[in-house]
Structure 1
Amino acid sequence: MDNFFDAYVLPWIVDIALALAIFFIGRWVIKQVMKLVERLLRKAKVEQMLINFISSIVNVVLLLFVVVASLNQLGVDTTSLIALVGAAGLAIGLSLQDSLKNFAAGVMLIVFKPFREGNFVEAAGVTGIVEHIQIFNTVMRTGDNKEVIIPNGAIYSGVITNYSARDTRRVDMVFGIGYDDDLRKAKQVLQEIIEADERILKDPAPVIAVSELGDSSVNFVVRPWVNAADYWPVLWGITEAVKLRFDEEGISIPYPQMDVHLHKTEGSAD
């Protein structure tokens, strides 16, 4: 009986004790490693959402190693287990290709920051304010208060226009006058309207110039610089002011028109 205990039971008890020790000590080591990883990521000023995701992945991988080590101590053949986990990971990866693409794009968006929450951007054919940047998708709010959820893969693979990235923006406007109107007077009126608006920046200086002799009008480009937050108010305000002043000064804003000439030929009916 003693020989049976010494030969079989005692080694099992020792192996179980060592396996449990490996597991619990391993979990303690994992916690310390996770604290160190999170501390380093915060020191590197990584986004909290990305820190949480990286931490969860590292935790799962390290825990898997601890479990395998514990099973090895018990004498369990873990080769087939590792192969099974690898095959399952490959199958999951193939079935979640789009999700993995969106995840990778989400990580790139968070790390490289082409835009931030609160920015006004145009991406994947949607223009609006960025409300949330998540691992798999980005939530945007359009000007008419619609919530649009865009996969990160669609955003990162296309052109991103960030209207909030710079402090100032140029307002590009075009105003046409009739060929019979006074060109110098119209330019002076435009200059006075621009100079009277306190939201328009002095540097860079605004541009007012004749850009085109069109089919029905002489076109001016008016390009003042403003603070980014004043872009739309200035665009709408200047457009209204130009129409009102042109009406007061008798300057026409022509609409597209075509002159049709009829030629009477011999033998045609009267």
Structure 2
Amino acid sequence: MQGFVISVARLSVWLVVLSIIFVPLERLYARTPAKWVRPQIGNDLFYYFFTSLVPAALLALPLALVAKLVALIVPAGLHAWVHQLPVWAAIVAGLVVADIGSYWGHRLSHEWPLLWRFHALHHSAEHIDYLVNGRAHPLDIIWVRMCGLVPVYILGLGSTAGAGPIVPAIIAIVGTLASFFVHANVRWRFGVLEWLVATPAFHHWHHSKHDHINRNYAATFPWIDAMFGTLYLPKQFPADYGIPDPVPTTIVGQMIAPFAAAPVPERTR
């Protein structure tokens, strides 16, 4: 119980810090008119805490099992070579490998109807800002994170040798910070840098409601989308956000909707 209280307190502090950073920016440089109170903001505040605590707890056991299984199956020579990499090289490799893995997990969440049932919640937001980052079903988060982290462990980039657990830790930190940033309601553009690292313009197109949907799946590196043919990065932002099909507005409804008999229609290309 004490650990839970400490985690909630830590997340509360970070929420204040994030709000101090993003609230003024989203009013000074808003892509769309910003409101102090908008629909679903209460739900998004709940999801900020919920999706920070629950998926992390549920991932601990599967990742431990993956690490044990990898140690038994993957040739020791591969890991021995990886463990000799400089720390900076292991970090860069880990970030790229994790982003490629999560790219495919994310893409499959759009292309497989069963996975889309869980992912639709995140795309139900009709106004994009930094708090929308947390609006997601916990099973959706677990799926995408597993897709990103399992290859890291298979290659030995997440073991206790070599660069050690610093690689998964940095992947988590970079991924978290980038996720809040790319959802921010800001109209900034970054020129050629937008082709190298994810920006709000890049990710906002991923949330487009009608035009050029199912694009820009990468979490950190847009060139991964370019490599797999899903990059779309025009000069303008999308006209609107969300999905045509309704998603329940209550938290309980949003949690149980993916398990309902009638599937949430997948997004068509």
The TM-score, its normalising length taken from structure 1, stands at 0.22
- Pick 1 or 2: higher relative contact order, CA cutoff 8 A, min separation 6: 2
What is the TM-score when the length of structure 2 is the normalising length? 0.22
User: Which is helix-richer, 1 or 2?
Assistant: 2
Structure with greater strand percent:
1
